[in-house]
Structure 1
């Protein structure tokens, strides 16, 4: 059978201009590859099916092109994969466009948001035939074998005789080595490694991709839906399977890879075996990971650095112990300091810290403590995002009990906590304290860690115009940009720092208004891209 798989994205990926295309002619995109549909494509092809992939980060494949190809190739199934609440509006629009153009093709939704909200999504999107819950590898094979009679397909939500049917859940698959490596070569895009900063910063122009070496995280952070999606379990591929894929990627010319594991630093013996395998195979591909600061595997940081682990990202969240406890991080400030210091002393080139602001019960003093704490840590880079809440997280359940959100009318919406929780600081206060905190933080880093800062900026300058690097440094001192149009704001084509604000707005729009906004933002992005390509060397231009 022929299957179309579409990775639906909100417009936060950055396509580089035509003159910077890869040697193979592919468009280069800043951001992460759609490893979900790539994994499913490999499974489908191994089983003898035909699969065509589309990634909406590619400006050459907008909805109109996907619709044209569906009409031309007549697939048996079109799967729309998306991760979160913020991508759901785009998935709805595309699904309705497909159904309006083709009444017969089977449509399916997959991804974390669809999995956790399957019955509600099916009711709101009757155009979609199937909602696929959980891991998709075996599910999609079973679905293709039972497209007309899906009663026995575990993990499927569908409609029968006017009512929503929830087939039994699919048991959690622990044997992850059974699946083939993701099908990266069939998608005609090359990805560029960048840092998740307010101004996207290019780390390398080497061919870049992602890997998933484990799934799940058992910790109960109140803002996270990963433990619920994975039923509180952590599952891992064998070290040998991971090393084999790294070797395969290096043979294809990839220079760097990022592990998109929810928590890589969980099993020391496995990490040690991966590092040893990389060394024994003589591999040089660079890699990065995310992990918790309370990991018992920190003694392996030197081995990781020797095996070319370049980047370690920690979810630090706050410099206030009271806020860490409120968020149920189950970590201490001392553990944060120890982990960051150990990583840098081991030779990890880039250590990044994720922080949140606008948390429940957070005071101005707590926020200031967070920026002061970040300044004293030997972090190379850092990001401070407004805390948001969405269905499927423990915080959402708390807000239901407190009457701050409605399960019936708000389930598909994405809220900044400060907009609905009276225990949060007002938005204006958060923005002011954040801006002042970033100023202090940047000055502290430039004066107290000049060599570390210089090395990082030197890396950025290898691949970015000087003006972009200067803007990266000066942004906290420039104040808020004025005069943005509504289309700019809602399309998130202005600044990366506005993305969460705009994402929240989009999920609250009616479908008719959403369609109008998306059309206006499409025109806006085309104008911005044309202007950038005519005036910039290597601009950061949002693309869809």
Structure 2
């Protein structure tokens, strides 16, 4: 029996593809349990398949699935419906199953309005989907309501079975890393928070369940052996149990896992000890939901954090060389220019090195959505429209689109104007054991100004000077290949090729096998007309196509035309 598990595309292109383009970790758990039970399973990340829609038909025709499961968040529900229609047109016997948070909260909506959808898995889906697949395989739909955690049609009615019990011992689930490669991992399920804009409280409940540290470390180690070295710890609140987090960090160090990772936390559950161990174990960024500078708005959103906690968390996080990223929401209940000013004032105090601003939107399963249905005539039928969400300001007569656009522009412009000052004000803990990590932190941050997200933002002034300062500060702590490379490139841009060669040569003393450093040094020598020295840099990397190009150029300049022709033949030049 062939099963495809698909993560479909969203209606709109994403501003931040970091999260939206990634298969949810839950789909890998579903796939792992199916594989443990000897099913032929394949996971397809189709978050952008709409850019080449002909591949949908080709792939489904080629793979001939018996069951297709879709991971539906909410913004991607129309992508799931459209792919399901194509699949049914190819083979009307294929069974279509929707699952995930979006399907769980709109199960009746999908089954009433979309004939392509045969079943919904509601809530935590591993065992419910496995039991459903077994019934589909047997073509036995009698008493299907006895399968817990599903919704279905029967005799013209749309029905839902009893909720499936949550898996109390998460370690009971097969480790997905045995079967799949991925970077988004999670050591917990659930969140103790009760934010009005989030569906997690209703989906998971308020009780947090934990994988054991050993299970989680085994997952990281298996993935690390496959060559994956960067991870997103996607727990809603990774640091909720301090001793457990420290144990995980110590085990990462004991196993000598050379990994870096980012995490999500709350400002009221981090302290100096936990940050110490997280940084040592490879954490380079923590994202905190701040949401607003107004305590009144945070209270309305049930955020339950205080301004002093926010200030302390950001100061400590940056002090340990971990990039503190802030999530802010605007367009909330009670938002006005006074509260926007409060948000800007808080940003000036906490000096975040990265911010993501969102307009408050409303999704099914959230307290905001329940409130919307109570105070308006909105029903779930609104989702028959091709929309991803409902913006809160559209439901509040005190807010307008013009105001929201002005709020967003003001917040972003002010942040980008202040960002250079935030960078200049970085203070890192003065402990020698962190010096190498500080150099890494500063050089990573510098790269964002020359090659990363900030490089494209015109409102940030003096980006190259900021980067140069950060690279030099990095090297004041410890040799760092990224810092040498960055300074070498900046010197090249200034046509200071001798200075570039000097910097890069120092870097190569510390990092002799670094291809980027050697290639960059070779380019500086080419610009100085020192082709023999350039050649010695390029010849170290004869497996590199880019190196071949420069090797041929050097041979030509040195008059070694036969060697030049040999290289050009390898490049398939005419």
TM over 0.5: yes
1:98–1:33 distance in 2 versus 1, CA, 3 Å:
closer
Matched, 1:373 2:346: yes
Per the alignment, in what secondary structure is the counterpart of residue 171 of structure 1? coil
Match of 1:130 in 2: 119
The structure 2 residue matched to 1:472, chosen from 444, 451, 457, is: 457
Match of 1:390 in 2: 363
Using the size of structure 2 for normalisation, the TM-score is 0.71
Alignment of 1:214-225 (within 5 A): 214-225=188-199
Preserved contact between residue 417 and residue 460 of structure 2 (Cα < 8 Å): no
Preserved contact between residue 449 and residue 455 of structure 2 (Cα < 8 Å): no
Relative to structure 2, which stretch is displaced further, 55-64 or 91-100? 55-64
Match of 1:108 in 2: 97
Matched, 1:256 2:245: no
d(CA) in 2 for partners of 1:295, 1:457:
25
Matched, 1:87 2:76: yes
The structure 2 residue matched to 1:144, chosen from 133, 136, 140, is: 133
d(CA) in 2 for partners of 1:457, 1:442:
18
Q: CA deviation at 1:180?
A: 2.5
Matched, 1:56 2:41: no
Q: CA deviation at 1:139?
A: 1.6
Matched, 1:361 2:305: no
* Largest Rg, 1 or 2: 2
Q: CA deviation at 1:362?
A: 1.1
Preserved contact between residue 177 and residue 222 of structure 2 (Cα < 8 Å): no
1:14–1:248 distance in 2 versus 1, CA, 3 Å:
farther
Q: CA deviation at 1:130?
A: 0.5
Q: CA deviation at 1:151?
A: 2.9
Preserved contact between residue 221 and residue 257 of structure 2 (Cα < 8 Å): yes
d(CA) in 2 for partners of 1:297, 1:455:
22
Alignment of 1:478-497 (within 5 A): none
d(CA) in 2 for partners of 1:233, 1:476:
46
Match of 1:172 in 2: 166
Preserved contact between residue 79 and residue 107 of structure 1 (Cα < 8 Å): yes
Alignment of 1:31-50 (within 5 A): 31-50=21-40
d(CA) in 1 for partners of 2:132, 2:250:
40
Q: CA deviation at 1:428?
A: 1.3
Q: CA deviation at 1:375?
A: 2.4
Q: CA deviation at 1:437?
A: 2.8
Residues 19-57 of structure 1: CA deviation (Å, up to 9, x unaligned): xxxxxxxxx999534423222222211211101221113
d(CA) in 2 for partners of 1:102, 1:279:
51
d(CA) in 1 for partners of 2:9, 2:168:
28
Using the size of structure 1 for normalisation, the TM-score is 0.75
d(CA) in 2 for partners of 1:144, 1:319:
48
1:31–1:99 distance in 2 versus 1, CA, 3 Å:
closer
1:134–1:434 distance in 2 versus 1, CA, 3 Å:
same
Flag structure 2 segments of 5+ consecutive residues without an equivalent.
428-438, 463-574
d(CA) in 2 for partners of 1:467, 1:141:
42
Alignment of 1:108-507 (within 5 A): 108-147=97-136, 148=139, 149=141, 150-182=144-176, 209-295=183-269, 299-348=273-322, 350-403=323-376, 406-410=378-382, 414-423=389-398, 425-450=399-424, 452=426, 458-459=443-444, 462=447, 466=451, 469-474=454-459
Residues 421-471 of structure 1: CA deviation (Å, up to 9, x unaligned): 124x32212222322232222222213532659997953675897596432
Q: CA deviation at 1:302?
A: 0.7
d(CA) in 1 for partners of 2:162, 2:170:
21
Preserved contact between residue 258 and residue 288 of structure 1 (Cα < 8 Å): yes
Structure with bigger RCO (C-alpha 8 Å, 6+ apart): 1
1:180–1:475 distance in 2 versus 1, CA, 3 Å:
farther
Q: Name the Cα RMSD after superposition.
A: 3.0
Residues 196-237 of structure 1: CA deviation (Å, up to 9, x unaligned): xxxxxxxxxxxx711011111121111111000012221110
Q: CA deviation at 1:97?
A: 2.0
d(CA) in 2 for partners of 1:397, 1:111:
19
Q: CA deviation at 1:183?
A: 5.2
d(CA) in 2 for partners of 1:30, 1:173:
26
1:402–1:332 distance in 2 versus 1, CA, 3 Å:
same
Per the alignment, in what secondary structure is the counterpart of residue 47 of structure 2? coil
Preserved contact between residue 128 and residue 147 of structure 2 (Cα < 8 Å): yes
Q: CA deviation at 1:268?
A: 1.1
Q: CA deviation at 1:62?
A: 4.6
Give 1 or 2: higher helix fraction: 2
d(CA) in 1 for partners of 2:132, 2:59:
22
Per the alignment, in what secondary structure is the counterpart of residue 76 of structure 2? helix
Q: CA deviation at 1:418?
A: 1.0
Per the alignment, in what secondary structure is the counterpart of residue 265 of structure 1? helix
Aligned length: 442
Flag structure 1 segments of 5+ consecutive residues without an equivalent.
17-27, 188-207, 478-544
1:15–1:73 distance in 2 versus 1, CA, 3 Å:
farther
Relative to structure 2, which stretch is displaced further, 75-84 or 437-446? 437-446
Per the alignment, in what secondary structure is the counterpart of residue 120 of structure 1? helix
Q: CA deviation at 1:145?
A: 1.2
d(CA) in 2 for partners of 1:377, 1:465:
24
